[in-house]
Amino acid sequence: MNRSLESWQNEAIRCIRCGACQNVCPVFKELQVESTVARGRVKLIRGVINKDLDLSEGLIDKMSLCLMCKACVANCPSGVKVDKLVEAARKEIAEKKGLSPLKNLVFRLVLKNRWIFDTGMRTGRFFQGLVFRKGPEGQGVLPRMSLGIDKRRLLSPLAQKTFKSLYPEVVNVPEAKMKVAFFTGCMINYIYTDTGRAVINVLKKNGVEVRIPALQNCCGTPVRINGDYETAKTMAKANIDVLLKENYDSVVVACGTCGLSLKEEYAELLQDDPIYLEKAKKLGSIVKDFTELVVALEGFQDKMGHLPLKVTYHDPCHLARGLRVKAQPRKIIRSIPGVVFQEMDKADTCCGSGGSFSLYHYELSTKINDHKVNTIKQTGAELLVTGCSACRMHIADGLNRQGISVQVMHTAQLIEMAYESKQRKDNEKFGGIGGKGLG
């Protein structure tokens, strides 16, 4: 998409300034200042378009104060695409003013080049002990020194081995009923390999052959929403080529952000490239969130054993308002015998992570997170399930800060647990050797 910022004027004037976004914007809820709500952002963007305002430091800061959670878009009576407007403004800023040196390095060198990312992440694993200390109860790590990241920030440690190095490219099952590609995304590959493992185990158990194409990259969203379109396009094309190389019934994602980029945003990004636009649309048509795929599998719930747990669910922004997946994870959770599902208040309000937002605006991001943690606490649940690794990390950090012992996991892991529970029961019943888990 090579649209100029000026070309967004017609979208911007559709904002009738009614103020309905004040009711849902998580950033405004904390700051309460007009320039930090969607209506204000749109006005500022119009100000840039009609040359009332420059791309000043102040303006750049206002544009960075958006979580891209889409709550305003979903609640706007005129349906103004505020997220697209902010993205267009960030693109303008990146082109005219350049990215910050750190973002430049990360986006242009690291995320774009898989081998550097891999090497960096592997090296990172050895050195992280020097920089981070273990969090309480062995959960996560806390920074030992200032990295421009708040010292209280609970980050999850990098995995000992990346997910893709743990599994072969093809995970075979006898008499497979379908063949899918698994797009892991960065956080599952480098940090939450347990989520990746659960995705594979659950799909295998349901007779789905899973391929994990080795040459897949970061989806490119962190790069694109910070305005670096050129890098994002290169990354999108590489992923499209990798994922369309073979015929898959579906491309499965376990992250709403990756999923939305593959399903819809690649096609928007590559609008001016007729060849890749077609390919992007083709890819988009087969992308499915993991939970969408699971609920469509016949008998997925028959393999579930008893789990005596009180569970609540947090809707990730890009899964709920991006891929419109809200019912499927709930259906899965409710189908597990023994699980008591307790809906939290405002389950689809942003957890405050916003990807790199939480690194640049940590104080604010934790304030937003405090509301989420409180609503989780009110449910009395002992387990918080969600469909996004970034939410998982940010909410675990919040629970840690407030000393609340609620476990956090991905929906795939909960299903894996339920399957294991039945497997154990069956093994006991038939005198088999227990504890081997799924196979």
Is residue 30 within 8 A of residue 367, CB to CB? The reply is yes
Select the span of 19-27, 155-163, 257-265, 289-297 touching other proteins (CB under 8 A).
19-27
| Site for other proteins contains 155 (CB under 8 A) | no
**Smallest separation, CB 86 to other proteins (Å):** 14
User: Which of 7, 58, 119, 428 touches other proteins by CB under 8 A?
Assistant: 58
Burial environment of residue 370 by CB neighbours within 10 A (0 to 12, 13 to 18, 19 or more): middle
- Residue among 34 and 230 whose Cβ is closer to other proteins: 34
User: Which of 7, 33, 161, 436 touches other proteins by CB under 8 A?
Assistant: 33
Element (H, E) at 126: helix 114-131
Q: How far is CA 336 from CA 212, 320, 333, in A?
A: 28, 22, 6
Tokens 């695409």 belong to 81
| Site for other proteins contains 148 (CB under 8 A) | no
User: Which of 56, 123, 160, 285 touches other proteins by CB under 8 A?
Assistant: 56
Is residue 120 within 8 A of residue 128, CB to CB? The reply is no
User: Which of 1, 5, 27, 44 touches other proteins by CB under 8 A?
Assistant: 44
- Residue among 40 and 355 whose Cβ is closer to other proteins: 40
List of residues 6+ apart from 337 with CB closer than 8 A: 304, 305, 306, 307, 418
Is residue 325 within 8 A of residue 362, CB to CB? The reply is no
Q: How far is CA 386 from CA 142, 312, 347, 410, in A?
A: 22, 9, 10, 5
**Smallest separation, CB 11 to other proteins (Å):** 9
| Site for other proteins contains 20 (CB under 8 A) | yes
**Smallest separation, CB 34 to other proteins (Å):** 4
| Site for other proteins contains 40 (CB under 8 A) | yes
| Site for other proteins contains 23 (CB under 8 A) | yes
**Closest to 155 measured CA to CA, from 362, 301, 414, 329:** 362
User: Which of 2, 4, 6, 17 touches other proteins by CB under 8 A?
Assistant: 17
| Site for other proteins contains 327 (CB under 8 A) | no
The site string for other proteins over 59-88 (x = CB under 8 A, - otherwise) reads: x-xx--------------xxx---------
User: Which of 7, 32, 123, 165 touches other proteins by CB under 8 A?
Assistant: 32
- Residue among 27 and 406 whose Cβ is closer to other proteins: 27
| Site for other proteins contains 43 (CB under 8 A) | yes
**How many residues bind to other proteins according to rule CB under 8 A?**
29
User: Which of 2, 7, 18, 437 touches other proteins by CB under 8 A?
Assistant: 18
Strand partners, 171: 210
The CA distance from 3 to 168, in Å, is: 41
Q: How far is CA 132 from CA 117, 156, 163, 385, in A?
A: 20, 10, 22, 26
| Site for other proteins contains 374 (CB under 8 A) | no
Upper half-sphere CA count for residue 253 (Cβ side, 13 Å) = 29
Select the span of 41-49, 137-145, 272-280, 323-331 touching other proteins (CB under 8 A).
41-49
- Residue among 55 and 438 whose Cβ is closer to other proteins: 55
The CA distance from 188 to 224, in Å, is: 20
User: Which of 10, 275, 429, 433 touches other proteins by CB under 8 A?
Assistant: 10
| Site for other proteins contains 14 (CB under 8 A) | yes
- Residue among 44 and 155 whose Cβ is closer to other proteins: 44
DSSP output for 362-381: HHHHHHHHHHHHHHHHHHT-
| Site for other proteins contains 19 (CB under 8 A) | yes
First to last CA, the chain: 45
Q: How far is CA 59 from CA 53, 64, 65, in A?
A: 8, 9, 10
Is residue 49 within 8 A of residue 8, CB to CB? The reply is yes
Residues that bind other proteins (CB under 8 A): 9-10, 13-14, 16-20, 22-23, 32-35, 40, 43-44, 47, 52-53, 56, 58-59, 61-62, 77-79
